[in-house]
Amino acid sequence: MKPSEIIINRLNELKDDSSNSSYPHIKNILSNQLIPVAFIEHYPSNLIRYRRHNKGEKFFYNVEELTYRQDILDINNFGRANEPGQGLFYCNDNFNQEAGITEAVSIFRGNTESKEEILSVGAWNLKEKLTLAVILPSKSNHGINEEFDSIKEFYENFEDSDNYKELIIFNEFLSKEFASDLIKHKSNYKITCAFSNYIKETYPNVDGIMYPSIKAEFKDINLVLWPEVIDKKMSFLTARRQIFTLVAPKTFVETNVKDMIGYTGLS
């Protein structure tokens, strides 16, 4: 068995392990690996963040409620990139904002009883370019997003050696983890979460991660940014509330919009 396969098997065992020690063990394994990472400079005009109203709220009334979650005592589960007790800024750029709706509407996240979805959307102006780590497509979702595919092609042909091929195997494993719909088993976010925090801790000049949107069938992209980036590189622009009503199976139509804080729309 190849060294990369031994590591992958152990990570999978730990992912399924419900003990408190499994996540630190995963983080320690990743911190001791050589993991080549692709980076990109990204500079959209706006960043958009959708918040779903889970507790009967009619509005989020201030910027603190629209930005990254600060109620860290209530963050009890692993997210795609965040640990319990860690609030990160999940968002989309102005070219991929429809993916944000798809990601936020709960029927696409397993809630088959949903009849109405209330979302608040905040928009931020980006003042500086972002440096992002890129989650490359796996073999299963290659050929869908041209930008990601071109980065993957360059990356996989960077070096022709047995050692580099081992690294490619490991990165394919990480890509598959990010390409998996793990919402039904939140503990299975442990590997993507550990890798995201590996990026945050290993590359202090990187602002976050770019990865394909599962809910948008990998055609669009999601971003997750570290909290300190919000204050440094972004300024709040405006907000709105949107209500989506179920009109057919898995089909929601926008039925109400309320602009807030001078919202005039996104280009």
Please, where are the H alpha helices in 93-189? 97-104, 146-156, 162-178
Contact 22, 190 (CB under 8 A): yes
pLDDT at 90: 94
Tell me phi and psi for residue 44, to 5 degrees: -75, 170
Q: Where are the domains of the chain?
A: 3-34+42-260
Q: 262: pLDDT confidence band, cut at 50, 70 and 90?
A: very low
Q: Are the CB atoms for 210 and 172 separated by under 8 Å?
A: no
Tokens of 26: 């995963």
Confidence bin at 111 (pLDDT 50/70/90): low
Task: Give the pLDDT confidence score for residue 266 in this predicted structure.
Answer: 38
Give 216-252 pLDDT, tens digit per residue.
566 788 999 999 999 899 999 888 887 777 777 767 6
What gap in Å lies between CA 67 and CA 78, rounded to an integer? 18
Question: CB-side exposure of 100: number of CA atoms within 13 Å?
Answer: 23
Contact 261, 246 (CB under 8 A): no
Report yes or no: 105 and 60 within 8 Å, Cβ to Cβ: no
Q: Dihedrals φ, ψ of 50, to 5°? A: -100, 135
Report strand pairing: 38-42 vs 130-134: antiparallel
Whole-structure pTM value:
0.85
> Tell me, what amino acid is at 254?
E
pLDDT at 18 over 60: yes
